Amino acid sequence: MLKGRHLIEPADLTVSEIDEICRLAEQIIVDPAAFTDVCRGKLLAALFFEPSTRTRLSFEAAMLRLGGSTLGFADASATSATKGETLADTIRVVSAYADIIAMRNPKEGAALLASEYSRVPVINAGDGGHHHPTQTLTDLLTIRALKGSCGGHVIGLCGDLKFGRTVHSLCKAMSRYPNNRFVLISPRELSIPDYITEQVFKKNGIQFTTAERMEEVIGDLDILYMTRVQQERFFNEQDYIRLKDSYILDKEKMKLAKKSLIVLHPLPRVNEIAPEIDEDPRAAYFKQVRYGMFARMALIAKLTGAL
C-alpha cells in the first residue's frame, strides 16, 4: 500500500512497488484520457529551493494531467526562508494546504527532514548530491518501455560517476534486477565512489568493469547512460584537455555501437552528446523526459490514494 507514504530515496520502494508504479504509468501511456480526473480536487505543492526546468514542470504537468491543481515556488528568494523561517516550519505550513509535496533543496537530507514534519506525502525531487528518486523511476520506466524489462542488460554509465546522484541511484536500482552488468566509463578523477562498488556491486555479486575510453566498450552496451564531465572537477587542466573528447558521444562512436542500443541522459545536456545524435533512432533522452511525466503521474496517484 503506497497511500500516504513518503519517497525520499529509491530504496524506500521495493522492486514490486517500483514495478507496480511502472505498470500504472504504462496504463496511463496507453489511455491517458482515462486518468484525467483521478486527482480532481487534490493539490500538489512544488517547493523548489533551487532552479529546475524539467523536474518542476514535469511534476506540475503530471498533476494537471491527473485533473489536480498545483501551487508552489521556483525561487527560494521569494519565500519566507529569506526571513529566517526554518524548513520544518515551511513544511508544517505548506502541508496544511496541499495533499502532496514535491520538494527540491540543495541541502542533503532536506527531504528526509521535511518528511518528519509534513502531514502529507513528501516526494524528494533532489536533495543536493544525495537522491533523485523520481529520476530513477523515469529511467526504469524508460528502460522497461524501450527494452522490455529492467533485467539482463549491459549498462554503460559514462562521465561524472563520482558526483552524479542519478548515476548512484540507477546503480542501486538496476542492481536489484537480475543479470545486469555494469560498465563504468570515466576518468580516474571522476570514478564511481567506493561505496557503490563495495556495497552495491561486490556485496550483491554484480559484475562490473571500468574503462577510460568510450570507444573501447560502447560495442558491448545495451544501454548507455550519459552524464556531463565537468572541467571544474579536475585538478589538472591538461588531464581534462587530454580526456574531454573521450566523453563526447558523436556519430563516429555510435558507429561502433549495437543497433539495439538506447542512449539515456538525465539532462540538461551541455556538449557531451553531439546534436547530430538527436536524429539517431537510438537516442532516447527526449523520450525519457516524457516517460518521466508518466512516472510522476503514476507516483502521485499512488501516494495520494487516488488509485
CA distance 151 to 143: 9
CA distance 287 to 111: 28
Catalytic residue among 6, 132, 172, 181: 132
Catalytic residue among 6, 56, 65, 104: 104
Q: Is 296 part of the annotated catalytic residue set?
A: no
CA distance 185 to 279: 24
Contact between residue 255 and residue 218 where contact means Cβ atoms under 8 Å apart: no
Contact between residue 262 and residue 145 where contact means Cβ atoms under 8 Å apart: no
Q: Is 54 part of the annotated catalytic residue set?
A: yes
- Dihedral over alpha carbons 169, 212, 284, 256 (to 10 degrees): -150
User: In the structure grid, which three cell numbers stand for residue 77, read together?
Assistant: 528568494
Q: Is 104 part of the annotated catalytic residue set?
A: yes
CB atoms within 10 A of CB 80: 12
CA distance 57 to 268: 14
Catalytic residue among 42, 55, 162, 166: 55
CA distance 111 to 123: 8
The CA-based angle 100-73-36, given to 5 degrees, is: 45
User: Most distant CA pair in the chain: distance in Å?
Assistant: 57
Sign of the torsion formed by the C-alpha atoms of 282, 286, 290 and 296:
positive
Report, as residue numbers or ranges, the catalytic residues: 54-55, 83, 104, 132
